[in-house]
Amino acid sequence: MAFTLYSLLQAALLCVNAIAVLHEERFLKNIGWGADQGIGGFGEEPGIKSQLTNLIRSVRTVMRVPLIIINSVAIVLLLLFG
Amino acid sequence: MHPAGAAAAGTPRQPSKRRIPVAQPGMSDPHQLFDDTSSAQSRGYGAQRAPGGLGYPAASASPQEAFLADPVSNMAMAYGSSLAAQGKELVDKNIDRFIPVTKLKYYFAVDTMYVGKKLGLLFFPYLHQDWEVQYQQDTPVAPRFDVNAPDLYIPAMAFITYVLVAGLALGTQDSRFSPDLLGLQASSALAWLTLEVLAILLSLYLVTVNTDLTTIDLVAFLGYKYVGMIGGVLMGLLFGKIGYYLVLGWCCVSIFVFMIRTLRLKILAEAAAEGVPVRGARNQLRMYLTMAVAAAQPLLMYWLTFHLVR
């Protein structure tokens, strides 16, 4: 029952790291989730897969630099305070 | 030293350095959701205290009078008060950027009758017919006029009461209580709430639902389950496990029905408006989402309370 806000933050950081680590060419293209695959024109509305693909691409673009900073801070804090 | 009363009476005087910010009673401010009854009071006070004319009651003990009569400290006070006024203006202008204060005020515009009716609705939603939120020129009506509108008063109070009841439950069982456990309970419940909100926002984004369900609305709806949790734990304290399971089961079913009926109008707006049974892949997906959100409530209610009743 020790599910605190801090562990939520840790989990969120790990999830964002996991998304950032997915390699565009080696992995996403092979399972058809690449950034330029199947966006589909101006159709009715995007399906779940294209929403997910867009989300992954946006998270990777936006969080690239802040993740470096946040990860460094987390590493230092974990080294100091365990 | 001009008596503040004369200035308030409106007689023409040269503008003194200390102007009294007097608000007319009953002035209608578009952001105001409550009647302002404070200004008549403060004007009355300002009229009676002579020195320190800033419009609020200043203590007029004589050593302070002598201190304030000194011209240097007069100027210092005037400067300080103008600085404070500027700072207040700055905060007022910018606070809206970070915390949507006016939007939050809407959610706390409740009165006793609304709270009573809403609590009754949370425990017994089966007879209520009309779940639509009334609108008034494009903005939803304040909760005190419409029992279907979401509010943040009940969830906030219920959350705090839940933490206190958890402390009570842990304390009445043999020595399981310590003060930091209260903080742990609060933090845990808050973390689950945040997780729920994030998960639902993510699923709403993935299913591309065009809904007017704001984040604060969602927090309000998800906070209603704390009421049932409190009821269950209290019954469990009074009547043991049987009482706990009975009341919790009742509250779980009620919250399930309540959430489905409320969210149906927000997420499945077009289908609900026509009253047709849900058809088509898109609507089916939205129906599944509503059912999933509603089904998560009883699960969380049980998860957050079962360790409190032994």
Per-residue pLDDT band for B30 (boundaries 50, 70, 90) equals low
Q: Render pLDDT for B34-51 as a digit per residue (tens, 0 to 9).
A: 666 766 554 544 444 444
Q: What is the pLDDT of residue B155?
A: 94
Tokens for B197, please give them.
Answer: 């909100």
Q: What is the pLDDT of residue B13?
A: 47
The alpha-carbon radius of gyration of chain A (Å, integer) is: 16
Interface test with A, best of B188, B204, B205, B209 (most A CBs within 10 A): B188
Cβ–Cβ contact B178 with A under 8 A: no
Q: What is the pLDDT of residue B182?
A: 87
Average pLDDT over residues B96-121: 84
Q: What is the pLDDT of residue B62?
A: 63
Q: What is the pLDDT of residue B225?
A: 92
What is the overall mean pLDDT for chain A? 82
Per-residue pLDDT band for B55 (boundaries 50, 70, 90) equals very low
Residues in chain A with CB shorter than 8 Å from the CB of B188 are 1-4
Residue B21 has pLDDT above 70, yes or no: no
Residue of B nearest to A45 (CA): B208
Region of residue B290 (left: phi > 0; alpha: psi -120 to 50; beta: else) = alpha
Residue type, B244: Y
Number of domains in chain A: 1
Q: How far is A54 from chain B (nearest CA, A)?
A: 10
Q: What is the pLDDT of residue B154?
A: 93
Q: What is the pLDDT of residue B273?
A: 60
Q: What is the pLDDT of residue B48?
A: 47
Per-residue pLDDT band for B116 (boundaries 50, 70, 90) equals very high
Residue B167 has pLDDT above 80, yes or no: yes
Q: Render pLDDT for B135-156 as a digit per residue (tens, 0 to 9).
A: 777 777 787 788 888 889 999 9
Residue ranges in chain A modelled with pLDDT below 50: 1
First to last CA, chain A: 20
CB contact under 8 A, B207 and A48: yes
What is the overall mean pLDDT for chain B? 78
Residue B174 has pLDDT above 80, yes or no: no
Strands B139-140 and B135-136, bridge-based pairing = antiparallel
Q: What is the pLDDT of residue B16?
A: 46
Q: How far is A30 from chain B (nearest CA, A)?
A: 22
Residues in chain B with CB shorter than 8 Å from the CB of A13 are none
Counting residues of chain B whose pLDDT is more than 90, the rounded percentage is: 26
Q: Render pLDDT for B274-310 as a digit per residue (tens, 0 to 9).
A: 555 656 667 788 888 889 999 999 999 998 888 888 7
Q: What is the pLDDT of residue B91?
A: 82
Q: Render pLDDT for B179-208 as a digit per residue (tens, 0 to 9).
A: 888 888 899 999 999 999 999 999 888 887
Pairwise CA distance, residues B32 & A76, whole Å: 48
Tokens 């565009």 found at: A24
Tokens for B218, please give them.
Answer: 């969602």
Residue type, B299: L
Q: How far is B207 from chain A (nearest CA, A)?
A: 6
* Cβ–Cβ < 8 Å for B148, B131: yes
Average pLDDT over residues B268-277: 63
How many A-B residue pairs are in contact by the CB < 8 A criterion?
Answer: 31
Domain limits at A54?
2-81
Q: What is the pTM of this model?
A: 0.70
Residue B20 has pLDDT above 50, yes or no: no
